[in-house]
Amino acid sequence: MIKNLVVEVNDGALDIVFLHQLENPEIRAIEIQQIADRPLTSGIDLIVEAEDFTTFNDVEPGVDSFVQNMRGDASGGDYMESIGDRGDSYLEYSVVLLVDGVYQIALRGTGERSNQNSFLVSVDGGPDSAVHLNENDRWGWATVNDTKRSGLGPYLLSSGPHTIRINQREANSKIDQLRISNVAGVYLPLPSLPETGAGPGVQNVGSVSNL
């Protein structure tokens, strides 16, 4: 599995630190490349693997929790699944945006039935928004657009760091990836696109990303 991380750095030393979340992780190679300068007004399109969370609030392992599972059709082979539905356990993801703008947030996930296919999403400690995913156990994208509960989606976000939280809502719901895109740049996948496709202009990143 190869992951790309695009960052902006100044002259001087660049320190790279790896924090492992699984036992005996293996890194075989690191490649650093300089890319052409891009204006900050370019489209921002971030994809974060669900297992690359920054914070995991594990309330009661095996009862009220998340678990990392493997599956051949998951991005990178791994995904996160909710255990229980009390809504106390959550995953958090840190991202850094370089421009102010209106951003869409989407989840790639699924469930086996209609009561096992949703999560609650919040940004920077704000209100929760319900996101309902496929209920046929096939991966698909769903964009946050919660007109009934929070009225949020898309989000007006400033440049700088932000935290996206994924809370439990229903047991056995599965999440494979998160996606953050500014509406003026690259649009999120629509239902008419292939369920396994991520769309054009994608950067696969870790838990913290500068684009």
Phi-psi region of 111 (alpha: psi -120 to 50; beta: other; left: phi over 0): beta
Across the chain, where does the E strand assignment appear?
45-49, 55-57, 65-70, 78-83, 90-97, 101-110, 118-123, 129-132, 140-143, 155-157, 160-168, 174-182, 203-205
Give the confidence band of 71 by pLDDT, cuts at 50, 70, 90. very high
Predicted confidence at residue 156, as pLDDT, reads 87
Predicted confidence at residue 5, as pLDDT, reads 57
pTM for the complete prediction? 0.68
The CATH number given to whatever domain includes residue 58 is 2.60.120.260
Look at the chain and report how many structural domains it folds into.
1
Whether 36 maps to a domain, the answer reads no
Give the confidence band of 190 by pLDDT, cuts at 50, 70, 90. very low
Q: What are 24-58's pLDDT values in tens digits? A: 777 767 766 655 544 444 567 889 999 999 999 98
**117 within 8 A of 111, measured Cβ to Cβ:** yes
Whether 151 maps to a domain, the answer reads yes
CA separation for the pair 180, 185 (Å, rounded):
11
CA separation for the pair 114, 135 (Å, rounded):
5
Q: What are 121-136's pLDDT values in tens digits? A: 999 999 999 999 999 9
Whether 3 maps to a domain, the answer reads no
Which domain covers residue 173, as residue numbers?
45-205
